[in-house]
Amino acid sequence: MKLLEYQAKEVLASLGIAIPPGVVARNPDEAAAAFARLGPVAVKAQVPVGGRGKAGGIKLARTADEARHAAEQIIGMDIKGFKVPLVYCEAALDIDREIYLGFTVDRDARANILMLSAKGGMDIEQVAEESPESIARLYPNAWRGPLDFELTQLVYDAKLGDIARPLVALIKKLYRAIPEYDALIAEINPLVVTGKGDVVAGDAKLEIDDNAAWRHRDLEERYGGVIEGDPYEVEAKKRGLTYVSLDGDIGIIGNGAGLCMGTLDLVQRAGGRSANFCDIGGGAKAEVVENALAVILMNPKVKGVLINVFGGITRGDEVARGVVTARDNLGMKLPLVVRLSGTNEEEGREFLKRNGIEPGVSGWEAAKKIVELTRAGAPAARRAGS
């Protein structure tokens, strides 16, 4: 779960990190009211992606009218596929310097990494490429977190020794986002040093591990649902499916992420385009298959569905029963190709045949078949289960 800036800042504030005064505005009037309270403000689009400044999602407002006007322009705007639901109006800062500070998971090192650089504010990836030596790094111990002396070294390495004390204290607070919130990314860029020498979070990115959602139900309750997600992905999540929307017209169901990704590759190789990725996982039961099919059929662009199941925990006969029941329950009329293999595959294939679904032999054969059926035009496309 990626938190929005205002949400991430609330979490940072709860950890004791200074944030600029700010107010969420859902409409232009609220933005004008925010100006009345805070004075000159930055009106910032709240979307869970980077690059919103370049997309016109951040505007400075020096008057109430400007704040109102900025909110009018920004709310509802589309930034990288996300409709901006609200803006965050934040008191403009007296900026002396901008620093980069971030924790993230270094998967090659199988550890968290802390990065600190005096060259904050701009694109840190560019800094990393052009002058990697200007980013100081530390792998904090996974159990006890970073120690004071380690952080002091880090701060001096980053040539930020003049603010060592406040910085070390702040990094220790930010680190708490890892053990306490299962953060995969906890980043402040820019971390602003004000004219008075205060250190304040200018922006904040916080991504919470979905695998740990059960430890953080409160965050989901408080912050979930602000962003209007892809409707199919939202529905799939409600039904407990791993589903990602893509822009093609062939629905895909597979068991296991690798097989599912492999199926997308096969469909593309056969000349088709997948409408989605849907992993029904190991141990997929009849109702899971039906749920997956129901979500895929919500999408009017879908012209046919390919189901690719190879069993480990998953039992082929159960999958076959689920497919037939789902097709019948949903009154599905689109072409459906089912590639079934693995535990109890013979029973599964028999059952499919008895119910008018020809099972595909290999994933590649099945992919070619569904591409052909969805391309063939109306007559073939109207036949169910061919």
Partner 1 sequence: MSILLDRQTRVIVQGVTGREGGFHTEQMQALGTNVVGGTSPGKGGTEHLGVPVFNTVADAVKATGSNATGIFVPAPFAADAIMEAAAAGITLIVCITEGIPIQDMIRVKDFLRAYPQARLIGANCPGLITPGQAKIGIIPQRITSPGHVGLVSRSGTLTYEVASALSAAGMGQSTIVGIGGDPVLGLTFSDVVQFFEKDPATTHLVLIGEIGGSDEEHAADLLAKGSRLKAVAFISGRTAPEGKRMGHAGAIISGNRGTARSKEEAFRRAGVQVAETTDDIVGMLR
Binding range to partner 1, per CB under 8 A, among 59-67, 185-193, 210-218, 220-228: 210-218
Q: Give yes or no: 187 in active site.
A: yes
Peptide bond into 190 cis (omega under 30): yes
Q: Give yes or no: 133 in active site.
A: no
Residue placing its CB nearer to partner 1 in the complex, 86 or 208: 208
How many Cβ atoms from other residues are within 10 Å of residue 24's Cβ? 18
**Which of 60, 122, 212, 330 lies at the binding interface for partner 1 (CB under 8 A)?**
212
Binding mask 112-131 for partner 1 (x = CB under 8 A): x------------x------
Position 274 contacts partner 1 (CB under 8 A):
yes
Residue placing its CB nearer to partner 1 in the complex, 132 or 283: 283
Position 108 contacts partner 1 (CB under 8 A):
yes
Active-site option among 5, 6, 30, 100: 100
Binding mask 155-194 for partner 1 (x = CB under 8 A): -----------------------xx--x-x----------
**Which of 30, 279, 290, 318 lies at the binding interface for partner 1 (CB under 8 A)?**
279
Query: Which SS3 state, helix, strand or coil, does residue 26 take?
Result: coil
Residue placing its CB nearer to partner 1 in the complex, 40 or 179: 179
Instruction: Decide: 315 and 336 in contact? Cβ < 8 Å.
Output: no
What DSSP line would sit under 238-253, residue for residue?
Answer: HTT-EEEE-SSSEEEE
Binding range to partner 1, per CB under 8 A, among 145-153, 155-163, 269-277, 326-334: 269-277
Site residues for partner 1, 280-339, by CB under 8 A, read 281-283, 310-313
Residue placing its CB nearer to partner 1 in the complex, 172 or 383: 172
Instruction: Decide: 61 and 35 in contact? Cβ < 8 Å.
Output: yes
Residue 257: CB minimum distance to partner 1, A: 4
294: closest CA among 318, 263, 325? 325
Position 258 contacts partner 1 (CB under 8 A):
yes
DSSP 4: P
Active-site option among 66, 90, 98, 187: 187
**Which of 93, 244, 376, 381 lies at the binding interface for partner 1 (CB under 8 A)?**
244
Q: In what order do the strands lie in the sheet with 304-310?
A: 242-245, 276-279, 250-254, 304-310, 336-341, 359-360
Residues in the chain: 386
Position 264 contacts partner 1 (CB under 8 A):
yes
Dist CA 302 CA 304 (whole Å): 6
Instruction: Decide: 97 and 89 in contact? Cβ < 8 Å.
Output: no
Query: Which SS3 state, helix, strand or coil, does residue 336 take?
Result: strand
Dist CA 356 CA 352 (whole Å): 6
Residue 10: CB minimum distance to partner 1, A: 21
DSSP 214: G
**Which of 63, 126, 329, 362 lies at the binding interface for partner 1 (CB under 8 A)?**
362
277: closest CA among 267, 288, 269, 287? 267
Dist CA 135 CA 127 (whole Å): 8
| Residues labelled catalytic | 100, 187
Binding site for partner 1 (CB under 8 A): 105, 107-108, 110-112, 125, 141-143, 178-179, 182, 184, 209-212, 214-215, 242, 244, 246, 254-262, 264-266, 268-269, 274, 277, 279, 281-283, 310-313, 341-343, 362-364
